[in-house]
Structure 1
Amino acid sequence: MSSIQSTENERQTAMRNWLAGISTPSLHLDTIRRASEDASFRSYYRVDAADGQTYIVMDAPPPMESVQRFANVADIFGKVGLTVPQVLAADNESGFLLLTDLGTTTYFHVLNNDSAHKLYMDAIDSLILLQTQSQPDVLPEYDRALLLKELMIFPEWYIGKHLGVTLTAEQTASLDKVFEALLANNLAQPQVFVHRDYHSRNLMLLDKGNPGVLDFQDAVYGPITYDLVGLLRDAYVQWDEEMVLDWAIRYWEKAKRAGLPVSADVDSFYRDFEFMGLQRHLKILGIFARLYHRDGKDAFLADMPLVMEYVRKTAQRYNVLIPLLRLLDVLEDKKPQVGYTF
């Protein structure tokens, strides 16, 4: 048995022992099954109960993960009025949570040309609700150090590890200038509560209180366009530019009416949206490369082309970002060719 399998078995045993000590709800431990996995060290399980409901068990092994962080943000977001899982029981030391179940239907599974507008309007309304209740000093600040740390995942993991390229001093200086332009924009934006992964795989379709919101434990206080660009320029779902622009403008109009401090003119707002999106997508390319090379998770390789398309389209629209486009053109020759055999 490998050490990974041994650790998994130990976690399963510890989780079952903990659940066995919970009296309400009365859980049928023989029904525990995998619910989902994500790009972190967390795992999720679904379990039936005597009350006819299903519940979710989060396994978040310390020190890599913190269930306390999840519980804290769940409390903040729940009080704001978002539909989030309720924490029913917690073992902070071992890293287990028992949560209410928001179902199995993600936005990702039901989005199409007919359903998208209504679903995105619901998601935008929830986002504005969250943002209007924002307060400083409640969540960690999405500061320059964190934004830059995220950007640096791109040269380290996508360029260095995935492409196997070492940048020259000149190329590094050029990329740094682009990063500085992005950071200057991002840090100048008004600050609000930021979910940080507000996209189709973390939004659940619900009959009441739509959408259900998951995976919020990394929430911060940061740039106002961050979650909107995560929603509309989703790494897993692509929409026509015209549709994205329409939804972004609808958000901008709603945000202004709600008293949020978005840019007074829509062109400036959309520039903020695009610069924030570029920061996010460069980070995502690096993270997807890291998930593959470090963690052996290859499923995200298939999503890289869409994310790179977002990067290129944004970079070509702004003079200050053109050096990034030129660098990508040079790197394209070094891109590994991934072949599939069926």
Structure 2
Amino acid sequence: EALAQPRVFVHRDYHARNLMVVSERNPGIIDFQDALCGPVGYDLVSLLKDCYIAWPRARVESWVRGYRARLLAGGGPAGASEAQFLRWFDLIGVQRHIKVLGIFCRLWYRDGKAGYLADLPRTLAYVRDACARYAELEPFGRLLEERVAAELPRANARVAAAGAAGGAGGAASGARP
């Protein structure tokens, strides 16, 4: 599905923490060194299904429809239908959020940075929600439930024990990078 989406400029890390209030009309945008051409829905899902802020699904869908309408009005690539665009949005979200889950876990396991662990449940919930919405993702959803969600209590206990012992993820390494 990602390859089927029209290609546009993509920031790749377009979320609330990379937007700054500035005196000019538009927000200041930082952390754009990884920008490239990518799927039309990528930055939209990064912003509306932000790993740090959760919005109600109805509001997100409304914003997606509004974004698509503006794309159409400006002659931009918006897919054959609203349903197709929303599907693109959801499916590229699965890809993005799986990538982010891996990054957050790496920051904990390799670098001892626990600051992003609190964002794992929200990010995983986005993936689980998309898997429940699309029949072709049901097998992946089952795999997540059996292999990932089932292990969360044990993983949380290990994180808590390491923090109590002053190991990886302890108070000294809990700051965000």
Query: Which TM bucket (shorter chain)?
Result: 0.7 to 0.9
Q: Verify: 1:308 aligned to 2:124, yes or no.
A: yes
Structure with the bigger percentage of strand: 1
Residue identity matched to 1:202: N
The aligned counterpart of 2:151 is 334
**Shift in Å, 1:206:** 2.2
The aligned counterpart of 1:225 is 41
**Shift in Å, 1:334:** 2.1
**Shift in Å, 1:242:** 0.9
In structure 2, C-alpha distance between the alignment counterparts of 1:243 and 1:206, rounded to whole Å: 26
The aligned counterpart of 2:81 is 265
In structure 2, C-alpha distance between the alignment counterparts of 1:292 and 1:208, rounded to whole Å: 37
In structure 2, C-alpha distance between the alignment counterparts of 1:243 and 1:209, rounded to whole Å: 24
Q: Verify: 1:187 aligned to 2:3, yes or no.
A: yes
For the 8 Å contact 1:288–1:301, the answer to whether it is kept is yes
Alignment partner for residue 59 of structure 2, among 236, 240, 243? 243
For the 8 Å contact 1:192–1:221, the answer to whether it is kept is yes
The aligned counterpart of 1:285 is 101
Residue identity matched to 2:92: M
For the 8 Å contact 1:229–1:277, the answer to whether it is kept is yes
In structure 2, C-alpha distance between the alignment counterparts of 1:283 and 1:222, rounded to whole Å: 15
For the 8 Å contact 1:193–1:222, the answer to whether it is kept is yes
In structure 1, C-alpha distance between the alignment counterparts of 2:109 and 2:25, rounded to whole Å: 39
In structure 1, C-alpha distance between the alignment counterparts of 2:23 and 2:125, rounded to whole Å: 34
> What pairs up with 1:140-155 in 2 under 5 angstroms?
none
Which SS does the other structure have where 1:192 is aligned? strand
Which SS does the other structure have where 1:187 is aligned? helix
* Residue deviations 1:139-172 (CA, integer Å, cap 9, x gap): xxxxxxxxxxxxxxxxxxxxxxxxxxxxxxxxxx
Alignment partner for residue 70 of structure 2, among 254, 272, 276? 254
Q: Verify: 1:202 aligned to 2:18, yes or no.
A: yes
Structure with the bigger percentage of helix: 2
In structure 2, C-alpha distance between the alignment counterparts of 1:256 and 1:272, rounded to whole Å: 16
* Residue deviations 1:30-66 (CA, integer Å, cap 9, x gap): xxxxxxxxxxxxxxxxxxxxxxxxxxxxxxxxxxxxx
**Shift in Å, 1:187:** 0.6
TM-score (norm 1): 0.45
* Residue deviations 1:3-26 (CA, integer Å, cap 9, x gap): xxxxxxxxxxxxxxxxxxxxxxxx
**Shift in Å, 1:197:** 0.6
For the 8 Å contact 1:192–1:224, the answer to whether it is kept is yes
**Shift in Å, 1:229:** 0.4
The aligned counterpart of 2:167 is none
**Shift in Å, 1:248:** 0.7
For the 8 Å contact 1:204–1:210, the answer to whether it is kept is no
Which SS does the other structure have where 1:234 is aligned? coil
In structure 1, C-alpha distance between the alignment counterparts of 2:150 and 2:122, rounded to whole Å: 18
Residue identity matched to 1:192: V
* Residue deviations 1:227-281 (CA, integer Å, cap 9, x gap): 0000100000111011111111110000111111111310000000000000000
For the 8 Å contact 1:203–1:211, the answer to whether it is kept is yes
Tell me the number of residue pairs that the alignment of Structure 1 and Structure 2 aligns: 157
**Shift in Å, 1:321:** 0.2
The aligned counterpart of 2:173 is none
Q: Which runs of 5+ in 2 are unaligned?
A: 165-177
Larger radius of gyration: 1
The aligned counterpart of 2:134 is 318
Structure 1 residue ranges (4+ consecutive) displaced by more than 3 angstroms after TM superposition:
338-341
CA RMSD of aligned residues (A): 1.2
